[in-house]
Amino acid sequence: MERFIEDARRLFGIQLREAQIRALSTYERELLEWNQKFNLTAIRDVEAVRVRHFLDSFSCTLAWKGNPPSRLVDVGTGAGFPGIPLKILYPSMELTLIESVGKKAMFCQHIVRLLRLEKVEVIQARAEEVAHWPQHRERYDWAVARAVAELRVLAEYLLPFLKLGGTMLAPKGESGPAEAQQAEHAFQLLGGKLRQIIPVTLPGIADDRFLILVDKVAATPSQYPRKPGIPSRRPL
């Protein structure tokens, strides 16, 4: 754990407090335990969890430069990444986790209860549906999705959740910059504008990684997102 704590400080300027380290240790233990029964993630050893889940989640902090979200929605969160590690960092942040797979949503609810995280809502549903619910549409200042889909599809999932002036955050691998270029039409259609592409370094991972930031500059037309499954089958 000491190396992980040092990496968080060195790479992202994050000084973890004792309570946060305990929460992350509990999260890690529960994830590995549940994973034996429910196959929540392909990552199965402690070191990989710390780098590919925790540090990768922490990399999102590069996007807000000391001004973290007040309301964050994490779409397709899986076992809670990046939303729950970010909530551990920022206890006052309001967090909504959206996950359509029952066993993954159930695990997120378990962790939220176990860690006594307040102001967290776990929704088991498709993002295409939730983005039309009035209490969630255009209500967030940040929307994030990690390893869910290509950017043209992600834009249709995420931009409807954002209020004007909010920002979509998509952690991506080496295809990120090319995907951002291909998605410019989708961004424009949905009220978004590409702001920045931030390179990310993680220890022991040679692949290029990026954070793609897209600002919400206009209201998303009411017909988006389209019905579940259509965005991924027919990207904008």
Per-residue pLDDT, 27: 95
191, exposed or middle or buried, with CB in 10 Å at 0-12, 13-18, 19+? buried
Residues of the chain with pLDDT > 90, as a percent, come to 87
**pLDDT per residue as tens digits for the range 65-123:** 889 999 999 999 999 999 999 999 999 999 999 999 999 999 999 999 999 999 999 99
Q: Answer yes or no: is pLDDT of 40 > 90.
A: no
Domain ranges of the chain: 2-233
Dihedral over Cα of 38, 44, 105, 33: its sign: positive
Q: What angle do CA 160, 223, 233 make, to 5 degrees?
A: 85
CATH number of this structure's domain 2-233: 3.40.50.150
pTM: 0.95
Residue 183 contacts by C-beta under 8 Å, 6 or more apart in sequence?
Answer: 150, 151, 152, 155, 194
Task: Give me the pLDDT at residue 73, please.
Answer: 98
Phi, psi dihedral angles at 80 (to 5 degrees): 110, 20
pLDDT digits (tens, 9 = 90+) for 223-236: 999 999 999 999 99
